[in-house]
């Protein structure tokens, strides 16, 4: 019994590191709590392949980060949304267990809280406020996907590379990110030669430094100047629909904003 209680305590603490769970009303969080389990996933883990039944919804905690990647017939993939501490992956708004459309891929390793889709479905039926919060999140996720569609079609590789880096940095709350050229190529849907050209230019211009698969942003202002405004637009929608849930760069700022708000 004590183990169960300390397990619950650990899950409660982990939930503090997911902004969407933190945004739940206390009663709704207590409904979810006994049904939440934890999972550790390394980078590269696949949570779902297209067509898989979505049995669980996953909430990335802290620096854990996943993405939805659409796989094309020739095997190439393009990222449509990056999901970190502001959100959830899979089944959060759909009715019951449905097949996944895109590949859900872990980008940065870390801890995830997960809940069975059927359990979540019945909890939502019993709580309009729980249902409402997750529906609002779904609206934000849709906005992200809409924006990615426009971004992938119109913005340059350099703009998109800067955008993904900023999106990742905001979510992990740091200026240093573990990102290989291969990962970045996967996010952008382009080959290695394009990625290394873009990275070389950003390095030569003093925007970032790279070292053994890690990228350190030396000048965030300049990286923002090189990025398209897609992140800013998505952030604006989050702020209107789910105020305070979209992460700001830096955990400390985040905590200060929480304490103030």
Binding positions for Zn ion, rule: CB under 5 A:
151, 155, 228, 230
- How far apart are alpha carbons 23 and 146 in whole angstroms? 24
If the CB atoms of residues 167 and 228 are measured against Zn ion, the closer one turns out to be 228
If the CB atoms of residues 121 and 222 are measured against Zn ion, the closer one turns out to be 222
If the CB atoms of residues 136 and 171 are measured against Zn ion, the closer one turns out to be 171
If the CB atoms of residues 45 and 229 are measured against Zn ion, the closer one turns out to be 229
**Environment class of 52 (CB within 10 Å of its CB; exposed 0-12, middle 13-18, buried 19+):** middle
If the CB atoms of residues 89 and 230 are measured against Zn ion, the closer one turns out to be 230
Query: In the complex, what is the shortest distance from the CB of residue 101 to Zn ion, in angstroms, rounded to a whole number?
Result: 22
- How far apart are alpha carbons 57 and 232 in whole angstroms? 26
Question: Which distant-in-sequence residues (6+ apart) come within 8 Å of 97 by Cβ?
Answer: 53, 54, 55, 91, 117, 118
Query: In the complex, what is the shortest distance from the CB of residue 252 to Zn ion, in angstroms, rounded to a whole number?
Result: 28
Query: In the complex, what is the shortest distance from the CB of residue 9 to Zn ion, in angstroms, rounded to a whole number?
Result: 42
Q: What ranges in 155-229 are assigned the alpha helix state H?
A: 157-172, 181-188, 192-204, 220-226
As separate numbers, helices (DSSP H) first and strands (DSSP E) second, the chain gives 11, 10
């Amino acid at each position: 019994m004590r183990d169960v209680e300390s397990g619950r305590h650990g899950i409660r603490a982990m939930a503090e590191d997911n902004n969407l769970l933190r945004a739940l009303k206390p009663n709704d969080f207590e409904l979810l709590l006994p049904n939440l389990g934890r999972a550790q996933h390394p980078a590269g883990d696949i949570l779902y392949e297209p067509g898989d039944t979505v049995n669980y919804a996953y909430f990335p905690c802290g620096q854990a980060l996943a993405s939805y990647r659409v796989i094309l017939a020739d095997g190439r993939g393009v990222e449509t949304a990056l999901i970190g501490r502001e959100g959830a992956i899979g089944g959060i708004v759909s009715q019951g267990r449905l097949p996944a459309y895109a590949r859900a891929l872990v980008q940065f390793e870390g801890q995830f809280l997960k809940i069975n889709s059927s359990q979540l479905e019945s909890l939502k039926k019993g709580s309009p406020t729980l249902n409402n919060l997750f529906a609002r999140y779904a609206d934000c996720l849709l906005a992200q996907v809409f924006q990615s569609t426009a971004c992938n079609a119109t913005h340059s590789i350099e703009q998109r590379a800067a955008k993904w880096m900023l999106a990742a940095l905001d979510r992990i709350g740091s200026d240093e990110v573990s990102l290989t050229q291969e990962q970045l190529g996967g996010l952008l849907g382009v080959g290695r030669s394009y990625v290394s050209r873009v990275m070389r230019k950003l390095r030569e211009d003093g925007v970032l430094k790279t070292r053994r698969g890690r990228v350190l942003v030396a000048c965030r202002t300049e990286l923002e100047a090189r990025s398209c405004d897609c992140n800013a637009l998505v952030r604006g929608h989050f702020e209107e629909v789910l105020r305070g849930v979209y992460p700001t760069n830096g955990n400390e700022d985040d905590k200060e904003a929480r304490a103030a708000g």
